[in-house]
Structure 1
Amino acid sequence: MKRALLIMAVMTTLAAPAMADEALAKSKNCMACHAVDKKLVGPSYKDVAKKYAGDAKAVDMLATKIQKGGSGVWGAIPMPANPQVNEAEAKKLAAWVLGQK
């Protein structure tokens, strides 16, 4: 019984940051144009993670795009700027996106 409770506690702790970052993405309206595993208006987060896998500069680059917007990387539809997202939130979101498998 103790072992089962310990395993559940560890699993909850490991899942909490991922859920928190998804909640942040929802609260900042990111999910209006993006989904974790399918293309909507913009690419899926899994596709973004795959494209930038192994790129040490990806978190900072994506954080900047989240805040300032961008165009041309994923097609003709530009990503608008998101001034409601501060720098720390943008980096947290970028790290979460890059962690999608």
Structure 2
Amino acid sequence: MKKTLFIFAVLALASCKKEDTKVAEPLYPTNTEVVAQTPVELGEEIFKGKGNCVACHQVDKKAIGPSIQEIAKIYKDKGADMVTFLKGEGVPIVDPSQYEVMKANFVITKAMSDEELKGLEAYVYSTIQ
């Protein structure tokens, strides 16, 4: 009887196989690599994307608002702080007649980080030669 129990125990242990603990592949591709972005690239992305600046400003011609080349030139010539203006804390120096239209967009720019605002500023300055 002891031999039978012993054989049964050995067979029971032998029949237990180790399960494969393979991790399932994700259903969508994952990329954890962070791609460095220059301030100008960040600014352009914001200008054309979430900032929606392109709705009123073109690079080289006046639309609803002045061109960003004109904005860059005036801010550069006057040594003014574009980031302060975008935070809603500065006075309009480019086209004061359009200030009320621009004020509506401060909801967007005030929610941006300093890094995003500096990126936007870098992009605007990058449009002038």
Q: Please state which structure has a larger fraction of its residues in helix.
A: 1
How far did 1:90 drift? 0.7
Query: Quick one: structure 1 residues 70 and 31, their matched pair in 2 at CA, closer, same or farther if it must change by over 3 Å?
Result: farther
Contact 2:61/2:67 (8 A) holds in 1: yes
Unpaired segments ≥5 residues, structure 2: 1-36
Deviation above 3 Å: which 4+ runs of structure 1? 16-20, 69-72
1:45 counterpart = 2:45 = no
Q: How does 1:18-97 map to 2 (within 5 A)?
A: 18-27=40-49, 28-53=51-76, 57-58=79-80, 61-68=81-88, 72-73=92-93, 74-78=95-99, 79-80=102-103, 81=106, 82-97=109-124
Q: Percent identity?
A: 31
Residue 3 of structure 2 is matched in structure 1 by none
Per-residue CA deviation, residues 24-49 of structure 1 (Å, 9 max, x unaligned), is 21121111111111111211011112
CA distance in 1, matches of 2:98, 2:62: 13
CA distance in 2, matches of 1:69, 1:43: 20
TM-score by length of 2: 0.52
Unpaired segments ≥5 residues, structure 1: 1-15
How far did 1:93 drift? 0.5
What is the letter of the counterpart of residue 68 of structure 1?
G
How far did 1:67 drift? 2.5
TM-score by length of 1: 0.64
